[in-house]
Structure formats: structure tokens, C-alpha cells
Structure 1
């Protein structure tokens, strides 16, 4: 598992942190106590040593003071001896002071208040000289300061001075007091080098005792620390163990090998137990969520599959639509040309119909004239028929008269023979006239019949011509409507062509969108497969009817790239498919 950015690879366990939080303060406290005790012991030892040194120095100072006071006491009888003059008293007092020795080679010295030396046993050549200008290595005027201390009632005076035989500067303690009868300052001094040597041994012994006591304290502190550390480690281990189990379960889940059906055992009612309980609740919630995600991922994959299939079908139909639109565009161009031709033909037909209507109207007028003529002919034929009937009647009467004349001529005999011949001729003429009249009548009747038939035909022709005229008028109107409709159709076809072009553009855009949809569906299916494969790494406790690989098929959606629309045959797409599309 990768670490967050900005974090080092070094990881400190919780147990180590808790132990560090407990043991480091404990260690520091123990060390502080040991160090404090050691410092206390060191300070006590130093204080004891310093106190011992002070006591030794005070003892030495007291010894020096006692020596000086003894020297002062020793010269008191001389001061009280009235038999001696002042010079003798001074001389004898100086001799007494020169003779005094203590602690080996230490001596008593005496100075007048003006700094003139009176007694200096180891440098008698300097007696009687002014030594008020002598300075210590640190620049103090030694004799002046000691005279001042003595005149103020006496006291101690410490100063650095050269130690005889070593050429080293060592501290020296002197005591000075006054002899007012002589205006003297008498005093003595001692070095504390031997005290330092004695103190070195004391310090070594004290250091050994101090080291032993500090070591004992350190061992006791270490033992206490180790005991407390062991108890703390045991308690921390018992506390951290459930957390480790929780961390191990989380690590398994994080690595994709987690069994989400497992639960932690709640062993306590403290914060650790609450952590385990909440972890179990979290894992349960995560298990339910992943199960729901798996089901929804399967649904998403199926939906993506259906979208991909629908996109494929839609792509095919879009290609079909594009091809049909191209064919429609070509057909619309042909229709446009046809409509234009129809418009021109309609206009020509309109002109021809107008001419035909004019001719039909003239024919109607002529037919009416023919009808009137035929009516006149029929009337004349009827009149002729009547005349022929009259002639036929006359011929019949003539025949009868001729017959009667023949009968009378026969009766007359010879006298009537000529008349009989004439009567016979008249009878023959009458007979022939009757036959001719009958033939004429038959012809006239036939003519009348034909004339009537012709009149009827002419009437029918007139009616037909009237109907033709009316039809031509209607045809004229229809052709005018056709011409206007053709012009409107031409305009509408232009709009249709524009719409078809726009539809073709939209179809191409739809094809691109279908391609994007198919790609998105493919990506969504792949994402669903990846997500389900990722979820499949967890043990969820609910085995599906089939594995994720079976639930999520790996059928790849056909690519729409480089797809060229094929021009289908007309009426190759079912109408129901277009309704669906």
C-alpha cells in the first residue's frame, strides 16, 4: 500500500508510541530523580567539603588569631613595666615577637601605622623600612589594608601571596591587631596549601562515597524503570492487541483480500471494545454497500450492453437513413425536374385546352346549326311524305278510274276499245305512278327515319359537345389548379430539399453522437467490469449465481470508425422499423 505524499516510509507502531508516551516520561522522570539526587548529593558533598574547608580555615584562622593574641599578651608585661623607657619597651617587645614561631616556620610581624616594618624575622634587613607600598598580585596594598583592619579593632585579611620555594601564588590568611601604646600593627599569616592537600583526600573519599550512592540510586531507578516498563509493556500489549487485529482486518480489506464476512470479537467495554464494535458495524455497512454496488454494477453493465446494442442498431438505421436521405435527395431532384416539366406541360395543356374549348364551343354552335337544319330536313321530309301520300292516293284513284274506264270501254265494245287502251295506259301509268310514289314514300320514310336518327345523333352530338365544352372548362380549371399546385409543389419541393439537406446533416451528427454513445457505453461497460472485478476481490458472503466474468460479458461494441454507409435498395427497410426508429 502506498503511503500518502509527504510522509516518510518510517512508521512507528501504536504500541511503540504508547510505550514511548509512558516510558519516555518515566525514564526522564527517573533520570531526573536520579540526576536530582546525584546533584543533591554532589551539592551536599560539596557543601560538606566546603564546610570542612571553612572549618579548617576557621581553625587555622583561629590558631593565627590565638597566636597574635598570645603575642600581644606576651608583650603586655613590657608595656606595663614602668622601669623601662619607651625605646626599651619597643626593643624588648620586638625581640619577643621575633622569637615567636608556630606551625613550623610561621612567624609574627609588626608594622608601625605609617607602614614602617618593625618585626620581620626572615628578612630583618627590611626592618625599619617603609613597606606601605607593597602590593599583592591582584593589586591590593597589603600593609595599608592590614594596618586599617588592625586600627578598626583587629580582624582577618585574606590575600594571594607567593608560596616560598614554589614561586606559585597561593591564598594566605592573616590576622592583624593593634598595639595602640606603640602605634603598632602586629599580625601573623598562614597558607592553606596543607588544607587543600587534606581536602583533596577528603574530596576523593567523598567522591567515592558519592559515586557509590549515585550508582545505587541509578540502579534502584533503573530497576524501578524496568519493572514499570515491563508492566506497562504488558498492559499496552493487552490494549493494542485488539487494535492490531482491527488493523490487520483493515489491511486485508485495503489490499483487496479482505473477508468482509469476518467480525472482530468485542472483548471489553472500553474505547477499544467500542472501536471493535464500530469496526464491525463499518464492515457490515461496507459489505452491504459492496453487495449493492455489485448488483448495481451488473445492472449498469447490462444497461451498457443494451445501450451498445441499441447504438449498433441505431447506427445501422442511421446509416440506412443517411443512404435513404441521399436517395430521397436524388429522387427529390428528379421530382423537382418532373414537377418543373409538369408545370410547363400543364401550362401547355392549359393553352391547348383553351384552344380545344374554343374549338368545342365552335363545334357546339355548328352542331346546333346542323340540328336546326336536320329539323328543317325532317319537316320537309314529312311534308314530302304527305305529298307522296297524296300522289299515291291520286294514283290509286286514277287506277280505279282507269279500271272503271276500262270496264266502261269494254261495255262500249269497239267504240270503247281506244278508250280502253288509253284507260289501260292510264291505269299502267297510275300503277307505275303508285309504285313510284310508294318507292318514293319508302325512300322518304327511310330518309325521314335517317333524318330523325341524324337529328337525334346531332342532338346527342350537341349534348356531347356541350358536355365537352363543360368538361373542357372543368379541365381548364383543373389544369390551372394543377399548374398552380405544380408551382406550389415546386416551392414545397425546394423546401423539402432544404429540409432533406438539414436532415442529412442532422443524421451525420446523430451518427457521430451514436458513435460517442457507443464509445461511452463501451467505456461504461469496461468500468463496470473493472469495478465488479475489484469488488470480486472481497469476500462478501453472498455468492452470485455466476461469477463476475460470467455476469459481465466482454463483448466489445463494434467500432463506428471508418464505417461507410451503404446505399440500400429502395423499400429495403421495413416500415415498422422506421416507425421504431
Structure 2
């Protein structure tokens, strides 16, 4: 039973490895979908304000500034924010990196040497897409890998983007993996306890069958042979050896048991 349980643990660990791999990929895909939907929502806001300008409700400069102010203030999750560059790579709005606002960024490179702003512009020319790049967290100078998504807004020549840090995605995946591991080991512990309980019941059932006839309820010769010497020793020590005679003459007990036991069994079956 224990060997079966260990084999079951091995199987669960293999299954857990597969789940871990799928879960991590699932978390990343889920967050990519979230980033994309957030940027699409931001683009909807831009279109709404542009429509207000087209209808003559506000001036174009006012619509642009109002849009940038709204996007600068918008947040999602713990650290999701938006930024805007123009189609020439000039940073128009960034809520945290104020020092590069109004400056060209096409020559910026991350620690991996990637010209990520050029990648943003190329993705926008294709109608939008994901870009992996390095960028520091707010308040930090250390660059961290991010997954970004960009969409173009042609009337104003804007590229609107946002991204999430990959290590946050890994942390979320690790949290889900830890919960899954706890569940696996709880199930394994339950399986071990159940296996031990079933094993004990099986052993007791075998022992009961070995010492007692199921049909007659009479103890078997094997049981008497096992218990006889102990009983004789106990009676001898107590000075009651005459009581032990009844346990000695059992040579023909099987014949008696076969004769009367089968009759009793037939009576029970009828």
C-alpha cells in the first residue's frame, strides 16, 4: 500500500510539473489580455474626446490636453499606468518619467540593448501589438522586464501604451503554484491515511478468517495451535494444569469441525 502511495505521489508530482508549466503560461496570457483590454479602453477615451472636438463641443487643444490628463491619472491593478508617444517617438505623456516628456525617445535602449521605442512604433504601424522591454519601476533606477501593448490613434498621430512587470506575473504564478502544491500534498496525506486504514482492515480481516471458521464461528486448529502453548504455560504457572487438558486432545478436531460445521453451514444457507 505504501509503495502504491509513493507511486501515486510520483504521479502527482509529474502532474504538478505539467500544471506549473501550464499555469505560468496561463497567468502571462491572462495578463496580456488584461493589458490589451486596458489599452483598448484608453483608446476609447481618446476617441470619445476626439469626437467631442469634431462636434465642436471643445477645442482640439483642449481635447488633447484633457485626454492626456485623464490617461495620466488612470491606474489599474497595483502599478498599471499609461503613456503616450507621437509617431516620431517623442514622449508626450508619462506619469512617472517627467524628465523625458517632450523629448525624443527613439534612441532609448534597455539593459538588453533593445531599441524598445522603435519596437513600439513598429507595432503601432502594424495596428498594435505586444513588445517586451526593460523599464524601471516608479521610484527605482533598476530596469525590470515588462510586457507592453500599444495601439495607434492616427488622427492625432499618437501611440498609446501600457505594460506590466514580468516579475509580478511570475509572483502571481508562484502564488497559484504554491496553493496547488499545498493541495497536492494534502491529497497525498489523505491518500496515505486512507491506504493505511484500508491496509489495516484487510490485515485484520485476513487474520480473523485464519483463526475462525466463517460458517460455524468455531476457532480453527491453527489458532488453537498458536494459543495452546501460551495457555498451558499460563495455567501451569497458576497451578491449574487440569484445566488445560481440554486444549490438548485436538488431533481429530478437524474431523468434528468438518462434520458438524458443514451441517451448520447448510442450515444457515437454507
Fold match by TM threshold 0.5:
yes
Match of 1:50 among 11, 24, 27: 24
1:102 paired to 2:71: no
CA drift at 1:167: 4.4
1:209 paired to 2:180: no
Q: Is the 8 A contact 1:172 1:189 kept in 2?
A: yes
CA drift at 1:195: 5.0
Matched with 1:150 is: 124
CA drift at 1:177: 0.9
Structure 1 or 2, whichever has the larger Rg, is 1
Matched with 1:411 is: none
User: Aligned in 2, Cα 1:91/1:151: closer, same or farther, shift over 3 Å?
Assistant: farther
**Unaligned runs of at least 5 residues, structure 1:** 1-22, 232-581
The one-character-per-residue Cα deviations of 1:419-468 (angstroms, maximum 9, x if unpaired) are: xxxxxxxxxxxxxxxxxxxxxxxxxxxxxxxxxxxxxxxxxxxxxxxxxx
Q: Is the 8 A contact 2:24 2:170 kept in 1?
A: no
Structure having the larger proportion of residues in strand = 2
User: Aligned in 2, Cα 1:41/1:190: closer, same or farther, shift over 3 Å?
Assistant: closer
The one-character-per-residue Cα deviations of 1:335-382 (angstroms, maximum 9, x if unpaired) are: xxxxxxxxxxxxxxxxxxxxxxxxxxxxxxxxxxxxxxxxxxxxxxxx
Q: State the secondary structure of the residue aligned to 1:75.
A: helix
Q: State the secondary structure of the residue aligned to 1:109.
A: strand
Matched with 2:15 is: 40
Q: Is the 8 A contact 2:40 2:151 kept in 1?
A: no
CA drift at 1:225: 9.0
Structure having the larger proportion of residues in helix = 1
Task: Give matches, 1:368-517, under 5 Å.
Answer: none
Task: Provide the aligned length of Structure 1 versus Structure 2.
Answer: 200
Match of 1:93 among 64, 75, 92: 64
Q: State the secondary structure of the residue aligned to 2:119.
A: helix
**Unaligned runs of at least 5 residues, structure 2:** 207-270
Q: Is the 8 A contact 1:155 1:176 kept in 2?
A: yes
Matched with 1:171 is: 145
Q: TM-score, normalised by structure 2?
A: 0.58
Matched with 1:74 is: 48
1:65 paired to 2:36: no
Q: State the secondary structure of the residue aligned to 1:178.
A: strand
Name the Cα RMSD after superposition.
3.8
User: Aligned in 2, Cα 1:95/1:111: closer, same or farther, shift over 3 Å?
Assistant: same
Q: Is the 8 A contact 1:78 1:93 kept in 2?
A: no
Instruction: Tell me how far apart the structure 2 counterparts of residues 36 and 98 of structure 1 sit (CA, whole Å).
Output: 55
Q: TM-score, normalised by structure 1?
A: 0.29
Matched with 1:120 is: 94
Q: Is the 8 A contact 2:147 2:163 kept in 1?
A: yes
Matched with 1:182 is: 156
Task: Give matches, 1:257-336, under 5 Å.
Answer: none
Task: Give matches, 1:329-344, under 5 Å.
Answer: none
User: Aligned in 2, Cα 1:51/1:133: closer, same or farther, shift over 3 Å?
Assistant: closer
Matched with 1:403 is: none
Q: Is the 8 A contact 2:27 2:172 kept in 1?
A: no
